[in-house]
Amino acid sequence: QKEVEQNSGPLSVPEGAIASLNCTYSDRGSQSFFWYRQYSGKSPELIMFIYSNGDKEDGRFTAQLNKASQYVSLLIRDSQPSDSATYLCAVRDSNYQLIWGAGTKLIIKP
């Protein structure tokens, strides 16, 4: 059973600080990795995706991928109250199927 694991949280971070969200996956053959943000009662929206080892930056967001250790993380710099949401990690495995984590609830405290 292929799995994607996330700490359910809630993760509480002061406004202006860096929020760090982590995700581990079991299928070593996985090739692409996605981070989605989901506000309460809303549908998920894509934040960013990453394929290669290392860092990928987009504005205040940085995705980090380490295939050897089988983890992907999302850093949010200068956290804002509007960043409070559940963050879903999704991994496309070696069979092209998308495996979802259960999400981490992030709370940014003013």
Partner 1 sequence: DGGITQSPKYLFRKEGQNVTLSCEQNLNHDAMYWYRQDPGQGLRLIYYSQIVNDFQKGDIAEGYSVSREKKESFPLTVTSAQKNPTAFYLCASSAALTLGSPLHFGNGTRLTVT
Contact letters (x/-) for partner 1, 36-75, by CB under 8 A? ------xxxxx--x-x------------------------
Q: Is 102 in the site for partner 1 (CB under 8 A)?
A: yes
Q: Is 21 in the site for partner 1 (CB under 8 A)?
A: no
CB of 84 within 8 A of CB of 11?
Answer: no
Calpha distance 16→54 (Å, rounded): 24
Measured CA angle at 24 (ends 48, 21), to 5 deg: 55
Q: Is residue 70 packed enough to be buried (19+ CB in 10 Å), middle (13-18) or exposed (0-12)?
A: middle
Instruction: Find out whether the peptide bond into 14 is cis, omega within 30 degrees of 0.
Output: no
Which CB sits closer to partner 1, 9 or 60? 9
User: How many chain residues are in contact with partner 1, going by CB under 8 A?
Assistant: 20
Among 21, 23, 25, 34, binds partner 1 (CB under 8 A): 34
> Which residues are near partner 1 by CB under 8 A?
8, 31-32, 34, 42-46, 49, 51, 88, 90, 92, 96, 98, 100-103
